[in-house]
């Protein structure tokens, strides 16, 4: 067991790049709303990546409670697009390019897909919303199917993203 752990540690690149990018944008939604839809969009005009998020109280509609849906765009600053590779990159502290997402062609058109090791944390506390993207060039040991992580209990990454 110790030998396997040592091999895993030695095989992982200690120089691997990682980035944490807090969106400067903040939003206010209803405390009972949840993330209904979340996507990345690229603005060719602004050369900027955005987290495009819709919040909804659809689980609570009825009995006099109306449907409320709030739509927000959160800029993810510092991300650039490489059209030749269809990849979106951010730079780590050493200047190394860290791939975060890529264009993917699908049945319904082209969309942006987050890469393994990249997560968008949607932090909602009492309706106050913040978005933080984290990415690493080290592949995750356990692949997660959902790269969008909603935290409605509090701001998990306050120490990273600032207060």
The tens digit of pLDDT for each residue in 55-70 reads 999 999 988 999 999 9
pTM for the whole structure:
0.79
Question: Where are the strands (E) in 84-162, listed by range?
Answer: 87-91, 97-106, 109-114, 118-125, 128-136, 148-151
Residue 20 in this model has a pLDDT that exceeds 90: yes
Phi, psi torsion values for 84, nearest 5 degrees: -65, -40
Residue 148 in this model has a pLDDT that exceeds 70: yes
pLDDT at 143: 60
**Domain locations along the chain:** 16-161
Residue 10 in this model has a pLDDT that exceeds 50: no
Reduce the DSSP state of residue 117 to 3 states and report it: coil
Q: CA of 20: how far to CAs of 6, 36, 51, in Å?
A: 27, 24, 14
Q: Residues 12-35: what's their mean pLDDT?
A: 83
Query: Exposure of 73 by Cβ count < 10 A (0-12 exposed, 13-18 middle, 19+ buried)?
Result: middle
pLDDT at 32: 85
106 pLDDT band, cuts 50/70/90, is confident
When the pLDDT of each residue in the chain is averaged and rounded to a whole number, the result is 83
Cβ-contact 114, 49 below 8 angstroms:
no
Q: Residues 63-81: what's their mean pLDDT?
A: 95
pLDDT at 152: 78
Q: Lowest-confidence range among 14-23, 54-63, 107-116?
A: 14-23
């Amino acid at each position: 067991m110790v030998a396997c752990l040592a091999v895993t540690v030695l095989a992982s690149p200690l120089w691997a790049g990682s980035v944490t990018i807090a969106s400067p944008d903040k939003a206010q939604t209803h405390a009972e709303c949840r993330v209904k839809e979340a996507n990345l969009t690229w603005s060719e005009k602004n050369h900027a990546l955005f987290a495009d998020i819709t919040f909804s109280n659809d689980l609570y509609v009825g009995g006099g409670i109306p449907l409320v849906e709030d739509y927000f765009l959160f800029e993810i600053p510092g991300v650039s697009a490489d059209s030749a590779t269809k990849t979106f990159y951010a730079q780590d502290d050493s200047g190394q390019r860290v791939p975060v997402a890529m264009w993917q062609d699908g049945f319904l058109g082209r969309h942006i897909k987050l890469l393994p090791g990249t997560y968008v944390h949607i932090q909602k506390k009492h309706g106050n919303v913040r978005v933080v993207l984290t990415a690493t060039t080290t592949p995750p040991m356990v692949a997660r199917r959902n790269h969008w992580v909603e935290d409605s209990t509090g701001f998990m990454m306050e120490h990273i993203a600032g207060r």
